[in-house]
Amino acid sequence: MATSATLEGFGFPVHLSPGAEERAAFVAGRVERAAAWLSEQLGVTPRIRLSVADADDWDSVATAPLYGTPQGTEDHLRVAADDGWFGTELYASIRPHVSAGTADLLRAAYGEPPALRPYFDLVAVHELTHLFQDQVWPAYPGMWIAELHANLAMVGYAHDVEPELLPALRAFTATVDELPVEVTPVRELANMEGSFEHGAINFAWFHFGLTRAAEALWADAGADVLRGLYEHVRAGGGADHPALREVAAGWNQPPSAASSGIADSSVRETMPSLG
């Protein structure tokens, strides 16, 4: 495959499509920073290999033909060599459903026409976290739990390492309350895995809701909840983790009823009992 070209100078293999050297260096730099940060938080150093692939090479490295959104499984992280089509199509499907105020927020974050690469490049940190999960967790805990944990890592990385990315992260997330049930009919956490059958917008609704929940968890407990949830699943635990119970209890509630899906009780106070 064309991504057999390599880029030297990083602590993991970097494969790239022809002409993607500058892009690959940028992505690999962030992956290196994020991996170091995650290793410090979680106490694990996973195997990593990175592919930065263009549209011609994407299907040869990716697990799904959604060019433009990062994908991470086992030890392999795949990132697009350019903006790709996925983000543009997702944005176009969301835009008709949001209020004027949210549209202004999206424009301020991404411009017009939208340049969505900063958001999806941060999603690469989310996908990198799946490598930390896949190589350590003894069993898959269910999609919403794995996705929430990866979002905790993405949110925490942005807060701790690259806070200038927070506006790009939050603008997409802010659309979650305005997407109508007509286009996001699957809403139960346990059914997240099947939501893509109703279109990427339904899956995005889950992702945005779990991102918002992750921000609330991070604000309350910081790295303690990221590490606590990781160790809880590593030890074979399931949805009985206190942070997961809080998120599940507040899921799909109006913002006034459940701020970011987190109840008023402090997650930090429960941390000694985790795991």
Q: What pLDDT digit, counting tens, does each position of 119-159 carry?
A: 999 999 999 999 999 999 999 999 999 999 999 999 999 99
pLDDT of amino acid 2? 62
List pLDDT tens digits, range 97-129: 999 999 999 999 999 999 999 999 999 999 999
Q: Provide the residue ranges of all domains of the chain, joining segments of one domain with +.
A: 2-270
List pLDDT tens digits, range 14-63: 999 999 999 999 999 999 999 999 999 999 999 999 999 999 999 999 99
Give the CATH fold of the 2-270 domain: Neutral Protease; domain 2 (1.10.390)
- Mean pLDDT value across the chain: 91
Cis-peptide, bond into residue 113, ω within 30° of zero: yes
